[in-house]
Every structure is written in C-alpha cells, then in structure tokens.
Amino acid sequence: MGSTCVVGLQWGDEAKGKIVDLLCDRYDVVVRYQGGANAGHTVVHEGVTYKLSLVPTGILRPGIACVIGNGVVIHPPALLKELATLQAQGVVANDRLFISDRAHVILPYHLAEERLTEESSDSADHIGTTRRGIGPCYRDKVGRVHGVRVADLYHPAVFRERLARIVDYKNRLLSAMLPNFSPFDAGAVAEEYLQYAETLRPFVTDTSAWLHRAHSEGRRLLFEGAQGSLLDIDHGSYPYVTSSNSSAAGIAAGSGMPTRAIDRWIGVVKAYTTRVGGGPFPTELDNELGERIRRVGREYGTVTGRPRRCGWFDAVAVRHAARVSGSTELAVMLLDVIAGIDELKVAVAYERGGRRVDELPAALPDLEQCQPVYETLPGWPEPIDGIRRWEDLPGPARDYVEFLGKQLGAPVRIVSVGPDRSQTILVP
C-alpha cells in the first residue's frame, strides 16, 4: 500500500479529522500541506475530545510522524499553545513533529492587516475570514518583499534588520488606514519571534527532503487537507475562499512531494452542506430545516464558534471539487444528522435564466443567479447513530448514499454516523 490523501470536497468542516484519525494506524507519517490555524479539527478518541488546528491529526497516535509542510502558514504562538494543550492531555510531540524551514510565518501585523479589510465599513469587502492572519501572510508570501519564512528566524542579525524595514512599512500603512492603531515595535517583535524560534528549533527541518527519504524507505504517507476544495484559492468560489490550495491540487506545492506518490485519493463530504463566512451557497436553507440541521449537527465553527450556514447537498459544486481533487473514493460524513427528515433534496444541476447549468460558474454574479435543480429522495424516520453495518442501515439511507456516489462519479467507501471512531460503517 502506498500513500493516501484525505481532502474535503465542500466548504470545510467535513469531519476530515475523523477519517484521518481512523486511517492513521495504517500510515507512518501524516502531512499538512496548506492553511494554518484557520483549520479546526475535532477528534473524539476514547471519550476525550482533542482540538487540533496546526498540528496534524496523526499526533494523537504515538509513533506516527507529523509534518507541517512548506505550504502551511505558521503563527508560532498559536502552534506553541496547541502543543502545550496537547501535552497537558498527554500527547507528546517530541521527536515526531517536523516543521518545514520553508513555511511562512504569521506576524502580528498580519492580524492587524486582516482587521483592516474584515472590519472595514464597506461590508462588501468582508470575506468572513477566521481572522488568523492567513490571507495577509499568504499575500506577503506571494508578494515576496515582506515574506518571512521559518528558516529566516535562525539568522537573527539579518532577521532583525529586515523586520525593522518591514515593520516600518506596515506601521505607516496601518496607521493611515486603521483608527486607533498603535504602531508595532520592530525590536520587540523580533525578540519575541527569535524566542519562539529557539523553542521550535528541534522540530524545524527541510521537510521535503525528509518526506522523500521517508517515502523511499517505504514509509506510508497520509496527506491531510485543511478547509475544503470549494475554498481553494484557484478552484473554489473565489473570492470567498481561503488563500491556499485547499483542494488536493495543493499537495505537491505545499509538501514538496510529487503526487505520483499517492495512490488513494479520498474525498470527504458531509451528507448535506455547510459553510461559514460569506459567499454564494445555492442550496442554503435559511429556514427552520436549516436551523434543525445546525442544531442536530452542532454546526458551529471549531475555530471561531460562528454558526455555520446549512443547506442541502450540492452535487454540482461537489462534482467540480471531486474532479479537481481527483477523488477516487468518498467518505460520507454526518449521515445521522439528516435522519428523521421526511424528504431529502440533492441539487443535481442549477438553472439560470431558464437554462440548465451543469458546471459551477466562475463569476460570482452568475453563481448568485443560479437556482438549484433538486432531486427529491425519501428520508428515513429512525436514528442510525447506533448502526455499525451497511446492511443494517435503512433502505432509504443506503439509497441516499449510493445516489451521492453516482452523482459524484466515485464509490462511497466510508459512512459516518456519529463523532466516535466506532460510529463508522465500511461500505462493502
């Protein structure tokens, strides 16, 4: 068996963490390749709830190595806090966490820059981000002049001097644009970050070289996507996306491993749709049923606590995502949440101006005008969270899952009926 990727096919929060945790035993290394502390994975393991953000889910299993790849943006205080919380829960990262020396670093001014757009008086400019400085850090990465990588922190003299110039620029910009802005003290920021760098030093390495070595020694790699493919900067519902390639398209760039190493491409979907933050959502249920799904599915953001917008499954958007992410098999999560709903709808196409639309439109105004074309499937009244075998699921539940697989052109291999590891059904 070779390597695998687990990627969300919707707007994030597809419960990928559970799938990664479930599969971990069969892999030697879990790799994060994009995003940062905007991600939130909740994993329930033997009754204990672990919240993971930057650290790969594999950390919960002793003996599994975890890689934070070059495509991730790292906010050192967030990472250190997460490691300390994990340690307090008995999870020790020593010797098995590897952080890329090429990953970019989130600095305090990135958080201030994000406030600039997200709190601007013109709400049309709001993306509804997680406010973790993700977008501004990636912007500096691509802009090059102000980007700071982990490796830079180990050259204190050069770093202090460069940061002084960057902070001077940012202070001038921010004081012109942000009311009540107190300028950053470049010296203090430099010393703070040099301190973080010392604490993180044992973990920092060339993770691309490390991964190639591990792979050539026969170690099996599991690539863990954060957010979902519809939030991908290139392939998602731009501009209401995150700033990285959160589909499987980001794996090679964000880890330094060519994707020919991967032979199992798992796409994870919820049995319905959710999204946090702004942006189009053709199948949104802004009504009592949407409320019900939110309540039963506990659909509140792991990172920000915001209520998630809920709606029917959108096969048009997910087909696009499954294609981009190369999904060869699917995991359908949270099927238990839609038990007890009389009739279930799935958008199989859109309609715009009397015309059928089969592909996700690129332009926002076009997508906003799309009305879903639904197929209605019968629901099932009984709860299914106690069911463990495919053949014991009610007929309509199996039909619903199979319908999703047909719509997406890939077989469903895993069905999840609750947060616990045991609440998982393997589809024969």
Of the pair 12, 282, the CB lying nearest ligand IMP is at 12
Of the pair 128, 396, the CB lying nearest ligand IMP is at 128
Minimum CB–partner distance for residue 285 and ligand IMP (Å): 18
Contact 219, 1 (CB under 8 A): no
Q: Which of 21, 25, 28, 41 is catalytic?
A: 41
Amino acid at position 127, single letter: I
Question: How many Å separate Cα 423 from the centre of its chain?
Answer: 22
d(CA 318, CA 333): 14
Residue 59 region, left (φ>0) first, then alpha (ψ -120 to 50), else beta? alpha
Element (H, E) at 98: strand 97-100
Of the pair 274, 327, the CB lying nearest ligand IMP is at 274
41 is catalytic: yes
- Among residues 204, 224, 211, 206, which one has the least CA distance to residue 257? 211
Question: Where do contacts with ligand IMP occur on this chain (CB under 6 A)?
Answer: 11-13, 38-40, 127-130, 132, 134-135, 226-227, 231, 240, 242-243, 276-277
Of the pair 127, 364, the CB lying nearest ligand IMP is at 127
212 is catalytic: no
Closest residue to ligand IMP, judged by C-beta, is 277
Minimum CB–partner distance for residue 22 and ligand IMP (Å): 19
d(CA 148, CA 153): 8
Strand pairing partners for 51?
A: 42
Of the pair 34, 171, the CB lying nearest ligand IMP is at 34
Minimum CB–partner distance for residue 128 and ligand IMP (Å): 5
Minimum CB–partner distance for residue 8 and ligand IMP (Å): 8
Residue in the structure block whose two tokens are 């792979």: 215
Of the pair 122, 288, the CB lying nearest ligand IMP is at 122
Contact 97, 55 (CB under 8 A): yes
Of the pair 24, 134, the CB lying nearest ligand IMP is at 134
d(CA 248, CA 235): 11
- Among residues 166, 164, 113, which one has the least CA distance to residue 144? 166
Question: How many Å separate Cα 324 from the centre of its chain?
Answer: 16
- Among residues 385, 204, 368, which one has the least CA distance to residue 282? 368
DSSP states along 190-256: HHHHHHHHHHHGGGEE-HHHHHHHHHHTT--EEEE--S-GGG-TTTSSTTSS-SS--SGGGHHHHHS
- Among residues 123, 54, 114, which one has the least CA distance to residue 84? 54
Contact 205, 98 (CB under 8 A): yes
Q: Tally the residues of the chain.
A: 428
Backbone angles phi, psi at 6, to 5 degrees: -120, 115
Minimum CB–partner distance for residue 218 and ligand IMP (Å): 32
Minimum CB–partner distance for residue 331 and ligand IMP (Å): 17
d(CA 208, CA 211): 5
Minimum CB–partner distance for residue 17 and ligand IMP (Å): 10
Of the pair 331, 348, the CB lying nearest ligand IMP is at 331
Q: Which of 13, 101, 232, 314 is catalytic?
A: 13
Minimum CB–partner distance for residue 131 and ligand IMP (Å): 7
Q: Point out the residues that are catalytic.
A: 13, 41
